[in-house]
Amino acid sequence: MIFKNLKKNHYINLIIVIFIFTLDRISKIYVLYLNDKYQDGEIFSSKFLNISLIWNDGIAFGLLSFDQSYTYNALTFIIAAIIFILLIMIIKNEGLKQYSFLIIFSGAIGNLFDRVYYKAVPDFIDLHINNFHWFIFNVSDIFITLGVIFMILIEIVSKDKPIKNYD
């Protein structure tokens, strides 16, 4: 009964969410496996990229990290509420804007899963040039960032902008 009301677009959206979530899970499970194998050492190192596991109990890029569990739980609840709002935005939009929200939603679900399951998010991708290191991130963070970039580009090139009349 429920499946009769679903459109082809809903199946595509579900496939995107499952694909991004699975890609994120596989990458994190593999890095956790390698971290155990190499006894908390650096997993991979090159001139511009290091793979080294850190646990992020804050929000994006380790911001707002807390030691108190009630603050962590409140932050997790706020993130879950934002994910619910993203779901509403996915339903209310269509086209490229919907897919941008969908990509952000998928990445956020991956990180929320880790926050609930591990009580922290495993981050492991460390891009650097000489001694300048960008924030360490994971595959979910890549998709969240891409979704936000797509959303910004859509807003910049959108033809639905209101025209201001200065007469």
pTM confidence score:
0.82
Query: Catalytic site residue 123?
Result: yes
Q: Pick the catalytic residue: 123, 126, 160, 167?
A: 123
pLDDT at 134: 84
How many residues would you count in the chain?
Answer: 167
Domain locations in the chain as residue ranges: 49-158
Give the active site residue among 114, 141, 160, 167.
Answer: 141
Name the residue with tokens 């679900």: 109
pLDDT confidence of residue 67:
57
* Residue whose C-alpha is closest to residue 51's, from 114, 128, 143: 128
Contact 58, 67 (CB under 8 A): no
Q: What is the pLDDT of residues 2-53, one digit of tens each?
A: 455 456 678 899 999 999 999 999 999 999 999 998 886 788 888 899 999 9
Q: Which residue matches tokens 């609840």?
A: 77
User: 76-84: which pairs have CB atoms within 8 A and are 24 or more residues apart?
Assistant: 76/112, 76/115, 76/116, 79/108, 79/111, 79/112, 79/115, 80/112, 82/108, 83/108, 83/109, 83/112
- Dist CA 139 CA 26 (whole Å): 10
Phi, psi of 56 (to 5 degrees): -105, 115
Please give the pLDDT value at position 2.
Answer: 46
pLDDT at residue 9, rounded to an integer: 77
Q: How far apart are CA 69 and CA 145, in angstroms?
A: 27
Q: Which of 48, 59, 53 is nearest to 132 (CA)?
A: 48
At 61, the pLDDT band (50, 70, 90 cuts) reads very low
pLDDT tens digits, one per residue of 66-108: 556 778 788 889 999 999 999 999 999 989 999 999 999 999 9
Angle (CA) 34 75 28, round 5°: 15
Give me the torsion for CA of 27, 64, 80, 135, rounded to 10°. Answer: -30
pLDDT for the residue numbered 43: 86
